Structure 1
Amino acid sequence: MRLTPGPAQDIDLDSVDLFDLDLYTAGDPHTVWDVMRAKAPLHHQVLPDGREFWSVTRYEDVCRVLGDHREFTSERGTVPTHLGTDDAAAGKLLTSTDPPRHTQVRRAIGAKLTARAVAPWEDRIRRTVVRFLEPAFDGGVFDLAERALLLPAMVTGPLLGIPERDWEELVQLTAMVTAPSDPHFKQGGEAATLAIAHHELITYVNEWVTRRRASGGDDDSLLDHLMTLRAGDAPLTDEEIALDGYSILLGANVTTPHTVSGTIQALIERPGQFAAAQADPALIPNLVEEGLRWTSAACNFMRYAVGDTEIGGGTIPARAAVVAWIGSANRDELQFPDPHTFDITRGGAKRHVAFGFGPHFCIGGPLARMTLRIFFEEVLQRFSAVELAGEPEHLRSYFIAGMTHLPVVARTRRTS
């Protein structure tokens, strides 16, 4: 998806197709969202197959949809690839469960992922990031976007208790879930790709749990922790463990790679910003926040209206699907002045909703922030510049905004 939009256009909102994959692969959705925020903050679309959904694009409306489970439930599905089919895992899968059950499970898992809990991992993550960057040290062409797909697995694999031999397979499977129409990941049609990936990921977690129980292991990994959790008065069932393990794998793998590549692309296009961060490392945490806002890798989430609900100057009917466009909210000019300017000194960048909002705010946010901070610290310390070495190739997905290829050359920084 193009992150720096072109000039304003006269958009016919009656003909806009927000599920048109070409819009995200080769088009310019930000120009569409700009018009929607101004003219149709609540937008209704009917797909050719009869499925329909409403869209909200303003920051405040996106926060309301994601933040109030009493008005907008997660228990029928939360990603637009499932539009039209209620989630069979509702009430069991963490992401498809509302409070209070969601809160009980999330609190128990989240205790392992707070900023304080992940802080001891900093040195290990730094070594992992240096290992990740090693192929760029010789000054050759380095496909950052392709390689970045593996970075979260390199970081979180040990935390989750997943052996290195399985990382590439799991990265492929999670990409199939979030971009089932992309030619790099699809196997047959979209529905077949989703079915294969769901089955393989849940089977993987089930078999992992079975082996762990048989061996009597008590490692302090996140998946081991999941096996000991209680929600209310009862332990999680094996089905819940498998589903929540599946959810954790997805959350760990699918967004950070695209934040990395999209932010690096922004810095390549704006060498002054690269130089400013290099001259003042204190800017790096804000660079991370601006990168998260700018890329908005998870560019939407879906909910269902519980009852007839007034929002955005209109009414969403009861039980209707509503898509909250995070990529648009993070460019809302009422929240972020000059929103289409990438500015690492931006005040208030941290107000972005790239990690979501409300009860389902990304549980791995602290770990992702630390990983991104370390990544840019190492890049800025080791390289004097990063240059584009070929054309970027964008992910074919209306759910995840990212790239499959970003060829770059990194110039090693000379030290005196």
Structure 2
Amino acid sequence: MTVADMTENLLDPGLFPAEQGPPHHLFDKWRATDPVHWNPPNPHYVNAMPGSSGVKGFWVLTRYKDVYDVSMNQELFSSHENGIVVWDFEGEGLERQRANFMSMKPADHTAVKKVIMPPFMPKALNEIAPQIERLAAEIIDSVASRGHCEFVFDVASRLPIATFCELMGIPEHYRNQVADYGNALADVESRSTHSLDPTIGLFGIAQELAAEKRRNPDGRLLSAMVNDTTLNLDPMAINQFFLVFAMAGHETTRSTAVHFINLMNRFPDQYALLRSDFDAHIDNAIDEVLRYTSTTTNFTRTALADTEIGGHPVRKGDKIYMSYAAANRDPAMFQDPHRFDITRENAKRHLAFGAGPHICVGARLAKMQLRALLAQIVSRIPDIHPVGEPEWLRSVWFNAIIRMPVEFTPELA
């Protein structure tokens, strides 16, 4: 491997912290000259995903159209064959990945989606909106008089965790542990700091809760999954469902809230515009932050036959890395894509939540939570600003800030 290869390899968990986000200089170069780019294995990358057999090479898609087209074509580009992450699995590890809701066969995925979608539909969300707004107010109540806090865990993480646990039917005494394991699960590269593999920890909680839901169904999301007689999901599928929601249920929302505050500090003209008419700009501003930051930077698919992507040949069995971060900065879709503009007319066309059959089921809920939390922040502690440099997650998967102390004028009682 050449020096250039080593410094331009997406299997470098130090890349995002060094760039303070995805390496857009690489994506821009590849999109212009090599839009279906081969990323080779990185001999210096220490595989940290439990159960994985390592990480092979993969094709990186940097054009919006290619990412979108592959996302829409499950018949040719499978999320089931080898899972949805860059890590490769074999045997029991692969079967565990395939039990994941996001990696099920298309028919199974559709069946599960029908069961879990009701709480995420507009009518159901409207019913819980007052509760979300109340929780958002309570979170800001807890810090507003102090004049400072650590924004990631004192503020940003609390609303999505509480909402996720309510939807799932997770009792109060489990919630801190579920949140800790969910955060550790996302922190693939340094989870060795935890004494227990977070996957095992979450599986244990999932089985305890599943047994309780069978004895006492409560109509919540986990109960629906456990007791639905049409699905008859086995324990591993329940475990994986719980695991996915423990991470995805708050990771994107938490990180987007943190990115939002960081970006408004970096672009004060945009923040002034938002504050001039919050209701008029907030929804589009959230979409623009999602586009600009792409918290979940990628998922993968596997080609089920020899084919081509954007005119580039791809062989059966090849792994395809769909770079949402690159797609969301493609100038063919977004004019002047590296400009942060909360009035961008097509900001909502971002792929931060994916596309096609596997688009994030909680996208509407995430936006609702962000709107509620940001409304409290902008109206009550509007001069909030980071103190020092935020700390980025060391990862090949998530673009996330994991520590961001902030200061603001204390709210008077």
Tell me if TM exceeds 0.5. Answer: yes
* Aligned residue number for residue 242 of structure 1: 239
**1:186 equivalenced with 2:192 (yes/no):** yes
**1:60 equivalenced with 2:65 (yes/no):** yes
**Letter of the 2:275 counterpart:** Q
| Separation of aligned partners in 1, 2:146 and 2:270 | 21
**Letter of the 1:379 counterpart:** I
TM-fit CA distance, 1:324: 0.5
TM-fit CA distance, 1:312: 3.4
TM-fit CA distance, 1:329: 0.7
| Separation of aligned partners in 2, 1:246 and 1:332 | 32
**1:210 equivalenced with 2:211 (yes/no):** yes
Instruction: Work out whether residues 105 and 229 of structure 1, in 8 Å CA contact, stay in contact via their aligned partners in 2.
Output: no
**1:328 equivalenced with 2:326 (yes/no):** yes
- Shift in alpha-carbon separation, 1:14–1:204, aligned structure 2, 3 A: closer
- Shift in alpha-carbon separation, 1:57–1:84, aligned structure 2, 3 A: farther
- Shift in alpha-carbon separation, 1:223–1:365, aligned structure 2, 3 A: same
3-state SS in 1 of match to 2:385: strand
* Aligned residue number for residue 151 of structure 2: 144
For residues 218-275 of structure 1, the C-alpha deviation after alignment (integer angstroms, 9 at most, x for no partner) is 32211111123244xx532333223222222222022111101011101011222222
**1:75 equivalenced with 2:67 (yes/no):** no
**Letter of the 2:265 counterpart:** I
TM-fit CA distance, 1:411: 3.1
**Letter of the 2:14 counterpart:** D
TM-fit CA distance, 1:186: 3.2
- Shift in alpha-carbon separation, 1:15–1:292, aligned structure 2, 3 A: closer
* Aligned residue number for residue 46 of structure 2: none
Which stretch of structure 1 is more off in the superposition, 275-284 or 301-310?
A: 275-284
Gaps of 5+ in 1: 1-10
- Shift in alpha-carbon separation, 1:352–1:230, aligned structure 2, 3 A: farther
* Aligned residue number for residue 44 of structure 1: 38
For residues 194-237 of structure 1, the C-alpha deviation after alignment (integer angstroms, 9 at most, x for no partner) is xx122211221111111233xx3232211111123244xx5323
| Separation of aligned partners in 1, 2:132 and 2:82 | 33
* Aligned residue number for residue 277 of structure 1: 274
Say how many residue pairs are matched: 394
TM-fit CA distance, 1:139: 4.6
TM-fit CA distance, 1:404: 0.8
> Which residue of 74, 84, 87 maps to 2:94?
87
* Aligned residue number for residue 48 of structure 2: none
Instruction: Work out whether residues 11 and 42 of structure 2, in 8 Å CA contact, stay in contact via their aligned partners in 1.
Output: no
| Separation of aligned partners in 2, 1:263 and 1:230 | 42
Instruction: Work out whether residues 152 and 254 of structure 2, in 8 Å CA contact, stay in contact via their aligned partners in 1.
Output: yes
> Which residue of 169, 175, 183 maps to 2:183?
175
* Aligned residue number for residue 378 of structure 1: 376
TM-fit CA distance, 1:29: 0.6
* Aligned residue number for residue 222 of structure 2: 223
| Separation of aligned partners in 2, 1:145 and 1:379 | 14
3-state SS in 2 of match to 1:377: helix
* Aligned residue number for residue 128 of structure 1: 135
For residues 137-163 of structure 1, the C-alpha deviation after alignment (integer angstroms, 9 at most, x for no partner) is 125221112332343112221121112
Higher helix residue share = 2
For residues 96-126 of structure 1, the C-alpha deviation after alignment (integer angstroms, 9 at most, x for no partner) is 1131221111122112211222211111111
- Shift in alpha-carbon separation, 1:347–1:48, aligned structure 2, 3 A: closer
3-state SS in 1 of match to 2:149: strand
Which stretch of structure 1 is more off in the superposition, 141-150 or 273-282?
A: 141-150
RMSD (CA atoms): 2.3
> Which residue of 336, 342, 345 maps to 1:344?
342
TM-fit CA distance, 1:16: 1.5
* Aligned residue number for residue 354 of structure 1: 352
When normalised by structure 2's length, the TM-score is 0.89
| Separation of aligned partners in 1, 2:412 and 2:331 | 40
When normalised by structure 1's length, the TM-score is 0.88
Gaps of 5+ in 2: 44-54
- Shift in alpha-carbon separation, 1:360–1:411, aligned structure 2, 3 A: same
Instruction: Work out whether residues 79 and 399 of structure 1, in 8 Å CA contact, stay in contact via their aligned partners in 2.
Output: no
Q: Percent identity?
A: 29
> Which residue of 91, 95, 108 maps to 1:101?
108
Instruction: Work out whether residues 263 and 294 of structure 1, in 8 Å CA contact, stay in contact via their aligned partners in 2.
Output: no
TM-fit CA distance, 1:95: 0.7
| Separation of aligned partners in 2, 1:248 and 1:56 | 26
Which stretch of structure 1 is more off in the superposition, 257-266 or 278-287?
A: 278-287
Instruction: Work out whether residues 136 and 410 of structure 1, in 8 Å CA contact, stay in contact via their aligned partners in 2.
Output: no
**Letter of the 1:279 counterpart:** S
**Letter of the 2:27 counterpart:** W
| Separation of aligned partners in 2, 1:175 and 1:81 | 19
| Separation of aligned partners in 1, 2:137 and 2:241 | 30
| Separation of aligned partners in 1, 2:164 and 2:400 | 20
| Separation of aligned partners in 2, 1:333 and 1:401 | 21
